[in-house]
Amino acid sequence: MSKYRFLISGGGSAGRSVAQVAATDGRGEIAGVVDPQQHMLDRMKDLYPQAALGDDYAQLLRETQPDVVVVAGPDHLHADQTVMALEQGCHALVEKPLATTVADCRRILDAEAQSGTHVMTDQTMRYMHPWHEMAMMAKKGEVGDVFFVQGDYIHDMWSHYAPDGAHHTPWRIDKQNPQNILLGGGCHPLDLILWTVESPVTEVYAYSNKMSVPMFPDDDCYIVILQFENGAAGKVYVTSGCSGHGMGEGMGGGFLAVYGTEGTLWKGKHFRRDHEPADIEEDSADEIVGGHGWGRSVIDYLDLLDGKISNPIPASRGANIVSVCAAALESIRTKKPQSPHWF
């Protein structure tokens, strides 16, 4: 069986991790890498000397004729690059967020339907302990009826924003297209919340501010309140201007906390009335690559291409995340609740 030819758009941690897993699995070969920064291309060249390299996405898409495009560059480029890939007949694995507007999500879904290809939204937290296990327990009814869910993205991004920061990423603070941290970071807990509840969001209300990171041209703190069709409520808290981290064992409740009529899932523990808190057994430890769940998400995508499984995170799921975020941003602008479109 011939290998799937991968074009990696974005040589950062996401692109490198996806390439690593695909190549190590043996079903993928890296045909090309696109990145505007030469040091990123040099790093990928050392790893994949056979790969074509360059900073012109359209040119490399034509020249390498890939089977799969991994869209892992700046968020605002995701939609255009994905649609271009689909129009050429390529499959696409799109790093979160799927896009930055609802209109762009529709473009991707339309292009996917017309091309007959597979688009998967790479929401990697679904594959990590304890969030994967907590969501599955809730979906199986092990805490009864879920009445409230919450998730935090508490991430000190100073070193990414500051020009002299150790992890400085210029596009994140670009004045024309800065990364919106609600979309770029808040999509992690939001995806876990939507996956857990499995009910459309009917209303969104949100607040935000910008008080912490002077070099970042957008809001850096958000609180988003969710109302679900099934009656459950939810909350997402996002901050990139804080000091310290809180996605795991740090501040806050982590990426996901689930409150049900018969139990609570919080920080990797199962709480039940009249029982001692129980640690949630880990079954996803071998799936961590680059600090995320790419070790399993990429395998799932290859299995999807092989026809072994259905799409675990279809583009419509990614589109719903973007739609909820768009409703939150509109709520902030209007100071009124908003109803997101549900795909």
First to last CA, the chain: 36
Does 3.20.20.370 match the CATH number of domain 4-124+292-314? no
Q: Is 17 exposed, middle or buried (0-12, 13-18, 19+ CB in 10 A)?
A: buried
| pLDDT > 80? residue 264 | yes
Q: 3-state DSSP call for residue 255?
A: coil
Radius of gyration of the chain (CA): 20
Domains 4-124+292-314 and 126-281+320-334 share a fold: no
Tokens of residue 311, six digits: 């799409």
- CA–CA gap between residue 43 and residue 28 (Å, rounded): 19
- Strands 91-95 and 4-9 turn out to be unpaired
Domain boundaries, the chain: 4-124+292-314, 126-281+320-334
- Our measurement of the distance from residue 32's CA atom to the centroid of its chain's CA atoms, rounded to an integer in Å, reads 23
126-281+320-334 to CATH, choices 3.40.50.300, 3.30.360.10, 2.60.40.10, 3.40.190.10: 3.30.360.10
What pLDDT score was predicted for residue 252?
A: 65
Indicate the pTM of the whole model.
0.95
Tokens representing residue 186 in the block = 């808040």
What is the rounded distance in angstroms from the CA atom of residue 180 to the CA atom of residue 92? 23
Question: Mind listing the pLDDT tens digit for each residue in 101-150?
Answer: 999 999 999 999 999 999 999 999 999 999 999 999 999 999 999 999 99
